[in-house]
């Protein structure tokens, strides 16, 4: 793991703060100052920050947090806005959020002290369920797109003004239901299997509808239920068991994929050698026939 990321995940410091500590010579490896920002920390290396050993967390901890509106999912904001780490207890300073909820969104956010687990859950196709309200009635075009998916060359509508993501492909929604509808609004519950940048805001903006409320209520079978706003809870034993099973399958699939690639490469090389051998035999046969 890259040095600043390693420090960020296992201490109270953010990545930006870790970079500053590295620059100032406050980070050491085997009593030697380490100023290589690109250094990859190995398992047997002991990193010290300001003379204090960085202890890598081995126990998996995951919490459910009911994020309020008006709070950023980041460690530090240049504009001084509140972040989840201002709201959370200091003991969660090194926890990694599983994906993001934008500034105006609220609801379920998972955080963990395991970067591996955070990455695995973010990259997964696990269901994400949201309650949302838009400022327009639902149209047949919206329903078709929710059922069949949508590809946009220009998906900037509904995005953050500084976003560099222009095009976007939206997979069909796993589930959706219209819960209430009026002349100037619609309330829906939708389930999607991706967590792209402002995905739902961009989706409905394509139909000139603004998402005025967005709340995530479930992620991968973990439900928000009655957890109050700005409160946390630890995973239950059953939820931990499910995560361990998920990670085991993921690792097994990754190993199988590596083996399949190796076998495919070996088969390709074998086919290539056999083809070359056949071509050589054919050339020899042609030369022999010419002599005759």
- Which residues are known catalytic residues? 102
The gap between the terminal CA atoms of the chain, to the nearest Å, is 67
Rounded CA-CA distance 205/161 in Å is: 14
Phi, psi for residue 151 in degrees, rounded to 5? -120, 125
Closest by CA position to 243, among listed 221, 262, 265: 221
Tokens 């309020």 appear where? Answer: 68
Helix (H) or strand (E) holding 276: helix 237-291
Structure tokens at 57: 């967390």
The number of helices, as runs of H, and strands, as runs of E, in the chain is 7, 15
Structure tokens at 73: 């999912």
Q: In the chain, helix, strand, coil percent, each to 5?
A: 35, 25, 40
Q: Kindly give the residue spans of alpha helices, DSSP state H, lying in 128-218.
A: 140-148, 199-205
CA separation for the pair 39, 35 (Å, rounded)? 8
Distances from the Cα of 122 to the Cαs of 97, 195, 196, 278, in angstroms?
Answer: 9, 7, 10, 49
Q: Strand 186-192 and strand 128-134: pairing?
A: antiparallel
């Amino acid at each position: 793991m890259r040095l600043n990321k390693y420090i960020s995940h296992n201490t109270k410091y953010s990545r930006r703060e870790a970079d500053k500590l590295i620059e100032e010579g406050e980070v050491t490896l085997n009593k030697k100052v380490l100023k290589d920002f690109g250094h990859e920390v190995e398992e047997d290396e002991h990193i010290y920050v300001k003379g204090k050993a960085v202890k890598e967390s081995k126990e998996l901890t995951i919490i459910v947090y009911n994020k309020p509106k008006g709070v950023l999912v980041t460690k530090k904001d240049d504009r001084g806005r509140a972040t989840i780490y201002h709201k959370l207890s200091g003991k969660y300073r090194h926890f990694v959020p599983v994906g993001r909820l934008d500034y105006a969104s609220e609801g379920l956010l998972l955080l963990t002290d395991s970067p591996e687990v955070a990455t695995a859950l973010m990259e997964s196709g696990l269901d994400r369920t949201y309650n949302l309200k838009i400022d327009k009635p639902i149209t047949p075009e919206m329903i078709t797109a929710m059922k069949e998916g949508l590809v946009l060359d220009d998906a900037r509508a509904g995005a953050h003004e500084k976003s560099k993501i222009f095009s976007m492909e939206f997979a069909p929604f796993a589930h959706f239901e219209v819960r209430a509808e009026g002349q100037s609004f619609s309330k829906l519950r939708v389930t999607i299997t991706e967590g792209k940048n402002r995905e739902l805001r961009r989706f409905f903006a394509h139909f000139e509808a603004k998402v005025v409320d967005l709340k995530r209520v479930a992620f991968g079978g973990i439900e928000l239920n009655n957890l109050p706003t700005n409160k946390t809870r630890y995973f239950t034993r059953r939820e931990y068991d499910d995560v361990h099973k998920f990670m085991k399958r993921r690792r097994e699939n990754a190993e199988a994929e590596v083996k399949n690639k190796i076998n495919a490469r070996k088969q390709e090389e074998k086919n290539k050698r056999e083809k070359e051998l056949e071509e050589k035999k054919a050339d020899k046969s042609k030369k022999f026939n010419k002599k005759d």
